[in-house]
Amino acid sequence: MNGPPGGRPHSSHWGAFHAAHDADGLRVRPDPADPEPSPLLDNLPGFTRARVTRPHVRRGWLTGGPGPDTARGTDDFVPVDWAEVVPLLAGELDRVRTVHGNRAIFGGSYGWGSAGRFHHAQSQVHRFLNALGGYTRSVNTYSLGASRPLLRHVVGSDAPIAEPTTYPVLAEHTGLFVCFGGMPAKNAQVNAGGVSRHGAAGYLRAARARGARFVLVSPLRDDLADDLDAEWLAPEPGTDTALMLALAHVLLTEDRHDEGFLARHVTGFDAFRGYVLGHTDHVPKTPDWAAAICGIPAARIASLAREMAATRTMISLSWSLQRAHRGEQPLWAGVALAALLGQIGLPGGGFGHGYGATAGTGAGVLPYRLPTLPQGINPVPDFIPVARIADLLLNPGGRCDYDGQRLTYPDIRLVYWSGGNPFHHHQDLARLRRAFTRPDTVVVHEPYWTATARHADIVLPATTTLEREDIGGAKEDPVLIAMHRIAEPQGQARDDYAIFAALAAELGVAEEFTRGRTARQWLAHLYESWRAGLAPEHAPAEDFAAFWPAGRVPLRGRRERHTLYAAFRADPDAHPLPTPSGRIELFSRTIDSFGYDDCPGHPAWLPQDPPDPAFPLHLIANNPATRLHSQLDHGPHSAAAKIEGREPLRMHPADVAAFGLRPGEVIRVRSAVGSCLAAVVPSDGLRRGVVQLATGAWFDPSAPQAATCVHGNPNALTADVGTSRLAQGCTGQLARVTVERLTAPPPPVRAHGPA
């Protein structure tokens, strides 16, 4: 963050800024109104490195034509011209849709892409594929794979995610924060679409200054900021549900639960109570029972339950809790615990889901949509839960249980990805490599030579936001930003829109896709049609001609003081929840009717897989502090945290000693599915027996004799299983691993080099 005053306005998922680019490089100045700008801005000068600078076609595909191929990911690439690649790809798209039908095209294309309402990569690829007749899509996200399907049954909507109680209300009213999975400051740096004011940390400090207490329940101490003076309870990973059930047991047996709230606002209380007290399975979920599972002393569990009942308590449930095998359970048990306390709908009480997960959670949302590129209509009914991508490619015609349905996987012939990095975000990357050998053709638009680009047949060079114009905004932020072009496109890179427009022209659907507009005309059109549709008190005074040079307009009407479920609390008959009962469902007849043993009809402790002596450590593979997912992993801020070019693996000092390792040593981490190299960093900020390796180091399979990934991507280690048959969400947060010394010098990291 070294920029002088001046520069042009721009925005990113991790902050608004001004920037200038010249022969000396990129200079970035954070938005002066941002109270706590993110150091992730320091990665931006990396935007010129590791670039795809012209179209490439994999040699085997160019010479042999489309078809399954195990050479994907190891074959070399032939640089080609745009004039050659556009008809080549258009012909292949036409072949697949004509011969196999549109359901043979997988266009889910999951990923965060970049800030910007028009060049939003997923919207662009979906609009383009819809103009061609549709595609097999994906539903849900890697962030919240279990949450949305579960919450739809339990509270009828995703309101706890979309509109939780806002920070100003918490700062004023909450007496006790009990933070399952923490509220990690590192994740609150980012927000899908952008964030011009990083406010979360300040509000939590204000709550602390007023006298609020914080209890952090996480194996990692830095899941809550130091300055909140939290009490740290470090359970064994994956055992929060047992702890929550024991807290419920104390409330029930000591008559500290809120009978009135339960009677008016909840259905299924009797079933839940019977289970917690052990009437149904003869296992009372006592503090002693939970202590043996989670490792937190029974006496502290009991006293915490009493404190929660006696204080205005916010039960904060992180997104990471549910990103694990049977991840539905801690979320549902957390909602049940909050229901027992009876504070749901009170200012500062109840539960929240995702505080700290992004800068936007708890910031308050706008009551209207932002300018949005229409995606058209997808007539293809087929879909997958997003994290089932490898299953889809490996099992054409196979079946998948999902939320009471039994899906059939289509036979995918062409995979189209733009704005995502599955070789970063998916689990068991060796299996994903096998899955990527199956289609006839893999197409990737990417600015950078990511592992996903390297596993494609056709790689098309996309611009970064810095090289194009866009409108930046997020529904939780107070400004709409004119993202001016800062730099010229690198090499032959084109905007995704320009690439799709050329393909659409070749395929005869130019008008459907472009509507005859240039990118700049689209910006003006999206802005003006949005402004015209707003209520007068919200519509900006500035038209597009005034907005663009001004660099920003305020977004009015954000609900900054909001309490989740206040109206439902006040009158559940007048404001019922959209559940079958209109109430919070602690027992769901619908879920029960599915008959899933991995997600029964009420929250339950589903025993973990037995410990395996071959893999004695728990790995926490969480989101990184030094970059957004895998983005700009080669940027200066991300690179500075690496050791000998590897991702740091944090380990308790006693475990470092027990395994006979040295600080800074590059070691191998192994699980039942694969291995990666990483560098040892001793830390007493973890529970013993737990190691932590952030996601996002670019997958590097260049030396398989040393490890599945020699750089430190934890998805070389994680298992590719869904949370349960209900949601089939991503389970990448946890794995069982061991660590071992290397017997040969570590091979070089090639992930950021040329393809």
Q: How far is CA 34 from CA 146, 232, 478, 753, in A?
A: 33, 30, 11, 35
Q: Which x/- pattern, by CB under 6 A, does the window 173-202 give for ligand PGD?
A: ------------------------------
- Give the number of residues in contact with ligand PGD, rule: CB under 6 A: 36
Q: Which x/- pattern, by CB under 6 A, does the window 453-482 give for ligand PGD?
A: ---------x--------------------
Angle at CA of residue 651, ends 245 and 323, nearest 5°: 40
By CB under 6 A, tell whether 121 contacts ligand PGD: yes
The residue behind tokens 């010479």 is 63
By CB under 6 A, tell whether 55 contacts ligand PGD: no
The number of residues making up the chain comes to 755
By CB under 6 A, tell whether 238 contacts ligand PGD: no
CB closer to ligand PGD, 181 vs 268: 181
**Coil, helix or strand at residue 216:** strand
Structure tokens at 146: 């279990």
Identify the bridge partners of residue 65 per DSSP, sorted by sequence position.
none
CB closer to ligand PGD, 55 vs 600: 55
Q: By C-alpha distance, which of 130, 190, 100 is closest to 414?
A: 100
Q: Which of 38, 450, 708, 723 binds ligand PGD (CB under 6 A)?
A: 450
Residues 30, 19: Cα–Cα separation, whole Å: 9
CB closer to ligand PGD, 214 vs 423: 423
Give Cβ neighbours of residue 654 (< 8 Å, ≥ 6 apart).
688
Q: Which x/- pattern, by CB under 6 A, does the window 583-622 give for ligand PGD?
A: --------------------------------------xx
Q: Which of 648, 714, 722, 729 binds ligand PGD (CB under 6 A)?
A: 714
Q: Which x/- pattern, by CB under 6 A, does the window 539-578 give for ligand PGD?
A: ----------------------------------------
110 is catalytic: yes
Q: Which of 173, 424, 433, 583 binds ligand PGD (CB under 6 A)?
A: 424
Structure tokens at 87: 């008809």
Query: Candidates 51-59, 66-74, 397-405, 713-721 — which segment interacts with ligand PGD by CB under 6 A?
Result: 713-721
Query: Candidates 18-26, 271-279, 439-447, 652-660 — which segment interacts with ligand PGD by CB under 6 A?
Result: 439-447
By CB under 6 A, tell whether 715 contacts ligand PGD: yes
By CB under 6 A, tell whether 223 contacts ligand PGD: no
Q: Which of 218, 358, 421, 588 binds ligand PGD (CB under 6 A)?
A: 421
275 is catalytic: no
CB closer to ligand PGD, 553 vs 730: 730
Q: Which of 51, 323, 325, 752 binds ligand PGD (CB under 6 A)?
A: 323
458 and 464 Cβ atoms separated by less than 8 Å: no
Catalytic residue among 14, 110, 409, 548: 110
Q: By C-alpha distance, which of 528, 523, 434, 422 is closest to 482?
A: 523
> Residue 424 corresponds to which amino acid?
H
Q: Which x/- pattern, by CB under 6 A, does the window 126-165 give for ligand PGD?
A: ----------------xx----------------------
State the DSSP string of 537-605. Answer: TTS-S--HHHHHHH-EEEPP----S--TTHHHHH-TTTS--SSTTSSEESS-HHHHHHT-TTS-SS---
DSSP state of 475: T
Nearest distance from residue 182's CB to ligand PGD, in Å?
A: 13
Q: Which of 153, 249, 629, 752 binds ligand PGD (CB under 6 A)?
A: 629
Site for ligand PGD in 391-420 (CB under 6 A): 418-420
State the DSSP string of 271-336. Answer: HHHHHHHTTTTS----HHHHHHHH-S-HHHHHHHHHHHHHS-EEEEE-SGGGSSTTTHHHHHHHHH
Q: How far is CA 374 from the centre of its chain?
A: 23
CB closer to ligand PGD, 239 vs 631: 631
Q: Which of 173, 257, 325, 445 binds ligand PGD (CB under 6 A)?
A: 445
Nearest distance from residue 421's CB to ligand PGD, in Å?
A: 4
Give Cβ neighbours of residue 142 (< 8 Å, ≥ 6 apart).
110, 323, 386, 387, 425, 729, 730, 732
Q: By C-alpha distance, which of 28, 26, 6 is closest to 15?
A: 28
Query: Candidates 88-96, 98-106, 204-212, 624-632 — which segment interacts with ligand PGD by CB under 6 A?
Result: 624-632
Element of type H or E holding 11: strand 8-12
φ and ψ of 90, to 5 deg: -60, -40
Query: Candidates 19-27, 214-222, 429-437, 627-635 — which segment interacts with ligand PGD by CB under 6 A?
Result: 627-635
Binding site for ligand PGD (CB under 6 A): 111-114, 119, 121, 142-143, 323, 418-421, 424-425, 445-448, 450, 462, 496, 621-623, 628-631, 695, 714-715, 718, 730, 732-733
Q: Which residues are catalytic?
A: 110, 112
